């Protein structure tokens, strides 16, 4: 084998070995959830790969960054474990009360290539961005916001406002503050002077920013921020506990007073309701009695009207009969009616005489003028009766 062939074979083997050894540096694959910074092998030029897929690496240096990330600061292992970057952050509140703050911050790294390259040149890795940039910004915002709140306010009554103040500083920058002596009233009714920290405001009433947020300058967007727990020092814990108990007693007292007041109102309303029911029942009784009386009156009135109508009918009938009789008298009876009347009269007289037994001898007495006339009338009557008796005797035969 010639030397030329041997050199050729060696060169081919070397190339194959080099290709195998450096194959992992020839091509690179990027996950769509990340972006990668590539530094060229020879020139050292920087470029960004944001899309997912495999591309030519060419032995260049690759640094990978997650487009979105989370910063935990908590004692809970579930919130990041025992790593130094995950420990809670300190905070000092009004009155020099101290606490350890636990929470979580979600962020999004910048989308522009220029800012990504600047961050890569300054920090060089995702961990460095978390520790040196984001965590330090959260710690600074907590230190600046803490003195604006009393411990119990940040823990209970103004918890949301405290969280919002810290978040506003992270997004915009640290706010200017000033101290002021303020007279406050203690729980036992005494007044004391206390130095309080307040925000400095501009002419529009907005906080004055003393230092722009590094997160904002680097294009990092905060998508969520939560303060999960505030762990105060023991002395502050005891004070908050006592104040909480006192406030709870006040709440109970107010609740009892409100209940007593409500009970009184309820009792009064129940009494009024009972009175209303009694009045209603009496009104029902009155209405019932009046209705019954009205019914009786209506019936009586109806009966009276009927009686009046009946009387009017009878009166009208009598007047009609009288008018008829009068008309007949005036007009004179017809021969037939006269005959019927004579017969009825004769029959009636006959029946009366048949039952009467008269004396066979009639004696008249009396003297004087008046006595003579009376005797004469009696004689005529008796004569008439005898004549009628004779006629009846003949008719019977």
Tell me: the pLDDT tens digits for 158-215? Answer: 999 999 999 999 999 999 998 888 777 766 677 777 778 898 999 998 999 999 999 9
Is pLDDT at 305 greater than 90 in this prediction?
A: no
Is pLDDT at 13 greater than 70 in this prediction?
A: no
CA distance 154 to 168: 16
Best CA proximity match to 166, nearest among 226, 99, 80, 232:
226
CA distance 339 to 6: 189
Is pLDDT at 122 greater than 80 in this prediction?
A: yes
Structure tokens at 372: 């003579």
**Which domains are assigned to the chain?**
1-65 (no CATH), 67-232 (3.30.479.30), 333-357+383-397 (no CATH)
Structure tokens at 243: 């104040």
**Dihedral, CA of residue 337, residue 339, residue 344 and residue 348, to nearest 10:** 140
pLDDT confidence bin for 364, thresholds 50/70/90: very low
Best CA proximity match to 92, nearest among 136, 151, 138:
151
pLDDT tens for 320-329 read: 777 776 666 5
| Rounded percentage of the chain residues whose pLDDT exceeds 90 | 32
Of the spans 3-12, 115-124, 332-341, 354-363, which averages the highest pLDDT?
A: 115-124
Is pLDDT at 227 greater than 90 in this prediction?
A: yes
Cβ atoms 116, 37 nearer than 8 A: yes
Of the spans 262-271, 347-356, 386-395, which averages the highest pLDDT?
A: 262-271
Provide mean pLDDT across the span 47-71.
Answer: 89
Provide mean pLDDT across the span 296-325.
Answer: 75
Tell me the three state secondary structure of residue 178: strand
Residue 201 DSSP symbol: B
**How high is the pLDDT of residue 133?**
94
């Amino acid at each position: 084998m010639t030397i030329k062939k041997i050199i050729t074979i060696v060169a081919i083997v070397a190339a194959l070995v080099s290709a195998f050894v450096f194959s992992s540096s020839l091509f690179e694959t990027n996950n769509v959830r990340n972006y990668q910074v590539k530094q060229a092998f020879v020139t050292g030029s920087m470029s960004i790969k944001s899309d997912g897929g495999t591309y030519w690496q060419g032995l260049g240096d690759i640094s990978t960054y997650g487009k979105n990330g989370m910063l935990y600061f908590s004692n809970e292992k579930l919130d990041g474990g025992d790593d130094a970057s995950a420990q809670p952050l300190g905070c000092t509140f009004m009155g020099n009360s101290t606490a350890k703050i636990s929470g979580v911050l979600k962020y999004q790294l910048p989308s522009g290539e220029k800012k990504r390259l600047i961050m890569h040149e300054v920090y060089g890795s995702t961990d460095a961005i978390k520790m040196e940039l984001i965590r330090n910004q959260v710690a600074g915002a907590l230190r600046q916001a803490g003195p604006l709140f009393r411990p119990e306010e940040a823990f209970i009554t103004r918890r949301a406002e405290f969280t919002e103040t810290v978040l506003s500083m992270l997004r915009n920058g640290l706010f200017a503050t000033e101290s002021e002596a303020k007279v406050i009233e203690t729980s036992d009714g005494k007044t004391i002077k206390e130095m309080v920290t307040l925000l400095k405001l501009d002419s529009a009433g907005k906080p004055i920013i003393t230092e722009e947020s590094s997160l904002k300058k680097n294009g990092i967007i905060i998508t969520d921020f939560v303060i999960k727990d505030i762990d105060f020092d023991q002395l502050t814990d005891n004070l908050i506990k006592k104040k909480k108990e006192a406030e709870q007693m006040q709440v109970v007292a107010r609740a009892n007073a409100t209940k007593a007041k409500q009970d009184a109102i309820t009792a009064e309303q129940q009494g009024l309701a009972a009175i209303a029911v009694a009045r209603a029942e009496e009104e029902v009784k009155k209405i019932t009695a009046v209705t019954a009386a009205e019914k009786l009156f209506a019936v009586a009135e109806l009966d009276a009207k009927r009686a009046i109508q009946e009387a009017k009918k009878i009166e009208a009938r009598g007047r009609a009969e009288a008018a008829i009789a009068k008309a007949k008298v005036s007009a004179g009876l017809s021969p037939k009616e006269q005959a019927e009347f004579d017969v009825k009269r004769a029959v009636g007289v006959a029946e009366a005489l048949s039952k009467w037994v008269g004396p066979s001898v009639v004696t008249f007495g009396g003297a004087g003028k008046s006595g003579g006339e009376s005797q004469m009338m009696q004689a005529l009557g008796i004569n008439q009766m005898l004549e009628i008796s004779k006629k009846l005797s003949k008719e019977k035969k």
